[in-house]
């Protein structure tokens, strides 16, 4: 039996999170006596929480609203976390806190699984931390133009700046534009699950672009339901959750998101079954 280690997913709200199901399935398959829980947490209490953890803790998964709040509390971050300005994973070891971003890899991997390998012209809904990861993922898929649609004017300014660093032309617009954009290769929505955008995508956009809706609860989201009704291609948000979680398991077990697990296909299989 392996040494008992503790992990958790932190965020608010957190009761709906499927991360415990994914991680517990993975560690059981790997034969690790590791405990993974869910903890309601906001940014104001995060520093105190981290300071109170003992040596049994191996790492944390982070969701809204902590992916940016955690950065000043870390000793180092990986390249992806640095470029996105967001970390969704913390690894403890050797007295240090190391931050990683597995959201980008999760988005790319689930799109590849759905048959989306290239996307030149993209639409991005939302302007938060997950949107930054989606923009980097779009860049990895070869995006040249990304239109970011947000409710509040100016909210996409950090993404416009990020796009300039990535060599991607990023422009901001209001949500009303969703009804007038006639084509794209990919649409990614990062708005919270259940959100009614108040506008429907054009028929041309629905028919030309695959939609990845990172929200997975409730499913289908209003956006995904409309896309499906229009005959469009929809990539389930659980796919991103699954693949970013697998990369987190790599980090917690091997210390490296690029180091595959032993019998990784089987591990991925039990994780997928846990939330299917």
List the structure tokens of 275.
Answer: 């939330």
DSSP letter for each residue of the chain: -PPPEEEEEEESS-TT--HHHHHHHHHHHTT--EEEEEEE--HHHHHHHHHT--TTEEEEEE-TT-TTTTGGG-SEE-HHHHHHT---EEEEETTEEEEE--HHHHHHHHHHHTT----SEEEEE--SHHHHHHHHHHHHTT-SEEEEEESSTTTTHHHHHHHHHHT-EEEEEEGGGGGT----SEEEE-SPTT---SSPPPHHHHHH-EEEE---SSSS-HHHHHHHHTT--EE-HHHHHHHHHHHHHHHHHHS-TTSPPTTHHHHHHHHHHHH-
Q: Catalytic pick from 29, 67, 121, 236?
A: 67
Q: Residues in the chain, how many?
A: 276
The answer to whether the CB of 165 falls within 8 A of the CB of 85 is no
Separation between Cα atoms, residue 32 and residue 9, nearest integer Å = 18
Catalytic annotation present for 18: no
Give Cβ neighbours of residue 242 (< 8 Å, ≥ 6 apart): 22, 106, 110, 268, 271, 272, 275
Catalytic residue ranges: 67
């Amino acid at each position: 039996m392996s040494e008992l280690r503790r992990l958790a997913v932190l965020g608010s709200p957190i009761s709906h999170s499927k991360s415990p199901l994914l991680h517990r399935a993975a560690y059981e398959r790997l034969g690790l006596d590791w405990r993974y829980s869910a903890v309601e947490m906001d940014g104001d209490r995060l520093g105190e929480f981290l300071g109170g953890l003992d040596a049994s803790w191996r790492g944390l998964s982070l969701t809204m609203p902590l992916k940016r709040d955690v950065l000043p509390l870390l000793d180092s971050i990986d390249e992806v976390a640095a470029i996105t300005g967001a970390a969704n994973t913390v690894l403890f070891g050797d007295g240090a806190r190391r931050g990683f971003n597995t959201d980008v890899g999760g988005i790319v991997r689930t799109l590849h699984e759905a048959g989306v390998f290239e996307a030149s012209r993209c639409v991005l809904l939302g302007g938060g931390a997950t949107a930054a990861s989606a923009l980097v993922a779009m860049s990895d898929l070869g995006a040249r133009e990304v239109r970011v649609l947000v409710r509040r004017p100016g909210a996409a300014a950090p993404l416009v700046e990020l796009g300039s660093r990535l060599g991607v032309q990023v422009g901001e617009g209001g949500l009303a534009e969703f009804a007038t954009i006639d084509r794209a290769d990919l649409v990614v929505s990062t708005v919270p699950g259940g959100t009614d955008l108040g506008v429907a995508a054009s028929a041309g956009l629905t028919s030309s672009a695959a939609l990845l809706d990172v929200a997975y609860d409730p499913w289908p989201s209003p956006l995904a339901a409309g896309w499906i009704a229009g005959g469009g291609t929809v990539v389930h948000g659980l796919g991103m959750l699954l693949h970013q979680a697998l990369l987190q398991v790599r980090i917690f077990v091997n210390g490296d998101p690029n180091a595959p697990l032993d019998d990784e296909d089987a591990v991925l299989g039990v994780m997928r079954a846990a939330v299917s």
